[in-house]
Amino acid sequence: MLIPILFGVCIYILGTWLNIFRNRKKNMLHVPGPTPLPLLGNALLFAGPPETFLPSIRSLVEQYGPIARFHLGSRVNLAVATPEAFEKILSSNKQITKGEDYKFLDDWLAKGLLTSTGTKWHSRRKLLTPAFHFKILEDFMEVINDQSKIFCDILRTKADGPAFNVFPLVTHCALDIICETAMGKHINAQGDSDSEYVKAVYESSELVNQRQLGPWLWSDFIYRLTPAGAKWRKCISILHSFTDKVIKERKVELQNETDESLDDDGRKRKVAFLDLLIRESKGGTVLSDGDVREEVDTFMFEGHDTTATNMTFTLYLLATHPEVQKRCQEELDQIFEGSDRHADSSDLASMKYLDSCLKESLRLYQSVPIMSRRTGEDVEIDGYLIPANTNVIMLSFLLHRDEKTYPNPDKFDPERFSSNNTQKRHPYSYVPFSAGPRNCIGQKFATMEEKILISSVLRNFNLKSDLKVEDIPLLAEIILRPKNGIQVSITPRS
């Protein structure tokens, strides 16, 4: 009985493979790329440990060019790494649908602002944009300043000691900030890093990345039967239960609040992102509780790992470039004149050189190293006709290291972002927050958070690191991460 079954399976696999070559246009065989294998496609190119993914995708582009084709299973993907290709996709209102890789987030984020498309995305974007008005963002500054002070207090316990891993400390600070600003909830991640919610966020991101690169895990039915699938369901249950509980409690609190309501510390309560959503829901007629949850979950997901990555790498780059660090500190000394007061919006506007450092750090280690879109219509890219419904993998990690745009691209040089230099470059040669109609709605929030935290650290400490760039394996999960963290040592500034 097994022989005919095996024979049938082999015929199916062979037929699927041959179909790739029969449908040459759909599978873009006119675009340079490796020959796909039966069943796996080119998945074996990325079959190594997670830290080998970026080197593997770089080797693919080096061998076949910045416009290259590869298959994961039977699915064709187009990898692009040129400003012109990025502009074709990101600037178009027809190419706004996120790629196939994002569907594995659906159990967690449903169809919130990150993953939705079409009319739902347009209406949500219009609804949520006012939440990021500068007046509202200014209200969040107090939270960010307070959490940055806690972060510096933790660093002070490590001053004059051995090097330590700063990445989890920054991540917990970013998580405290996003929880309080997005949900109005204190979770004290900086004091309690073993919380169930914190662990579930990290595990979920890792599981999504594993699934994106493993075609054998794409089937929901098969995935549910695996140990990873069981772990995924547990994580999602923790994440959703936490958000549901916060929404329920916040709705009750809002019903009892007045304009003069105070928080636990006796200060006027700040309006959290969740509060704005609840008010816009109009009692469930505009947004249901499920709609509110998917947007809160989306901002929790997008709003802490991304900033944590950039802040960590900025601290590392400043620690390994003492002349740049000193120049930042001199700028901050001029702004604050020795005061330990909180930073305000006018202070942030004066941090010109620190701003250039953050941008250069994002160029080298952008928080989202890879994006993907599914083409909504046929599009020509670099002379190749790309059919509709093609998964386009946008390699911003390589785009930002193109030596034609950035000479000596691996060098940390904040002067690249002086006003004179930025005007000379292609407008789509630097897209750390994406670009076009689907650019990052939280860009101003992220920049504000990063300036406050980094400036707080530099006002209080000198940084040093002996860690070499080549000794930092990078994990290109949904968000870029240093596999083994980032080791720095600090001394107090006099």
Residue 449: Cβ within 10 Å count: 29
Measure the CA angle with vertex 270, ends 201 and 267; round to 5°.
Answer: 120
> Which residues make beta-bridge pairs with 79?
68, 393
Measure the CA angle with vertex 464, ends 458 and 465; round to 5°.
Answer: 135
Measure the CA angle with vertex 293, ends 97 and 125; round to 5°.
Answer: 40
- Return the structure tokens found at 93: 């209102």
- Return the structure tokens found at 75: 């699915």
Checking DSSP bridges between strand 487-492 and strand 75-80, what pairing results, if any? unpaired
Greatest distance between any 2 Cα atoms in the chain: 84
Residue 407: Cβ within 10 Å count: 9
Question: 304 vs 107, 176, 423, 431, CA distance in Å?
Answer: 19, 9, 30, 19
Cα distance between residue 364 and residue 47, in whole Å: 25
CB 112 within 8 A of CB 98: no
Quote the DSSP letter at residue 258. Answer: -
Cα 297 from chain centroid (whole Å): 14
Cα distance between residue 129 and residue 109, in whole Å: 19
Cα distance between residue 310 and residue 296, in whole Å: 22
Cα distance between residue 141 and residue 78, in whole Å: 41
What are the two backbone dihedrals, phi and then psi, of residue 16, each rounded to the nearest 5 degrees? -60, -40
CB 132 within 8 A of CB 276: no
Residue type, 409: P
Cα 212 from chain centroid (whole Å): 16
Cα distance between residue 57 and residue 452, in whole Å: 35
440 is in an annotated binding site: yes
Nearest to 342 by CA among 459, 444, 443, 263: 459
Nearest to 25 by CA among 327, 332, 306, 388: 388
Q: Which residues are annotated as a binding site for heme?
A: 440
Q: Which residues are annotated as a binding site?
A: 440
